[in-house]
Structure formats: structure tokens, C-alpha cells
Amino acid sequence: MGKQLVQTGTGGYAIVDDASSAVATNVGALTWNVARGATNTAIVGTLPANARILAIFVQNPIVSNAATTATVSVGLSGGSATYFSGAQDVKAAIGNFSQAATANWVPSASTQTVSCTYTETGTASSAGTHMVSVIYGVL
């Protein structure tokens, strides 16, 4: 009794249990450090075809010291900056913040290029450390 890594009909891969033929979801993650700037949008990775977002986390160990506001959001490149998550405040509190699911957390038949936008207002920040993780599964 073992498991086999097999290619799926859509070109992906799956782990199949020899005894039960059950197919396991392959879990992956995109993780990155957020670059600060007045409004800074960066391409951070690509979700494979048929990926389903399971969770998005914003980790904020050092708050931004921007004068008025500082937020981080996860978007779709070429689309909305808040396609996958709303704007998370990274000025008010230290912590790990789980993002609320949006209607766009559904699998897409094609790859999706993920972007991250950091936005601040008021006097520019000189401190703040923010990391984001998008956890996804592919069948």
C-alpha cells in the first residue's frame, strides 16, 4: 500500500492512494515580503490553473509608521487590487490577520497572476514589516 504521484487530465498532478484510489489535494503557497511605498503594486506569483484559494494571511510583526493610513491587499494583476482580499490595515496593530474570503476564491481554468498592493497616506513610512501568504489547493 502506497501512494503514487500521477499527472491529471488537465496537466496538473495528484497523489493517488493505491488502496482506495482516493485523490489528495496538493497544497501550495505563495509567500512574500511587502515592499513599502506611497502606492506600490508588485507581481508576487502565479496561481496554477484549477487552484482554489484556501486562506490568505497578512503577518504584521512591525506596524507601519506612515502618518495617516497603511494597507495591504491581494489582487489580480491587470484587474482589481482587492480581487482576492480587502485592504488590511497594517498601521494599527501587530498580529497575524486572516483575510475574509471573496467571491473570487473559486478555481479558474487558467493561471492567475497575483499582485500585492501596499498603500500609505500622509508622511511616508520609515518602518513597518509586512508579509503575505496565499495558501491554495490544486486537484
Residue 50: inside a domain: yes
Residue 107: inside a domain: yes
pLDDT for the residue numbered 60: 94
- Take residue 5 and report the three cell numbers written for it: 504521484
Residue 17: inside a domain: no
Provide the 8-state DSSP code for 94.
Answer: -
114-120 mean pLDDT: 95
CATH number of the domain to which 53 belongs: 2.60.120
pLDDT for the residue numbered 29: 94
- With a cut of 80, say whether residue 47 has pLDDT above it: yes
Residue 11: inside a domain: no
- With a cut of 60, say whether residue 1 has pLDDT above it: no
Give dist(CA 24, CA 139) in Å, integer.
7
Residue 39's pLDDT band (cuts 50, 70, 90): confident
Domain that holds residue 47: 25-138
Total domain count for the chain?
1
In this predicted structure, which of 23-27, 46-50, 112-116, 122-126 has the lowest mean pLDDT? 23-27
pLDDT digits (tens, 9 = 90+) for 80-107: 999 999 999 999 999 999 999 999 999 9
Residue 39: inside a domain: yes
Residue 6: inside a domain: no
DSSP string, 99-139: PPP-TT-S--SS-EEEEEEEEEESSPPS--EEEEEEEEEE-
- Nearest CA to 134 out of 27, 38, 57, 37 is that of 57
Residue 109: inside a domain: yes
Residue 11's pLDDT band (cuts 50, 70, 90): low
Provide the 8-state DSSP code for 59.
Answer: E
Order the strands of the 26-33 sheet from edge to edge: 26-33, 129-138, 51-62, 95-98
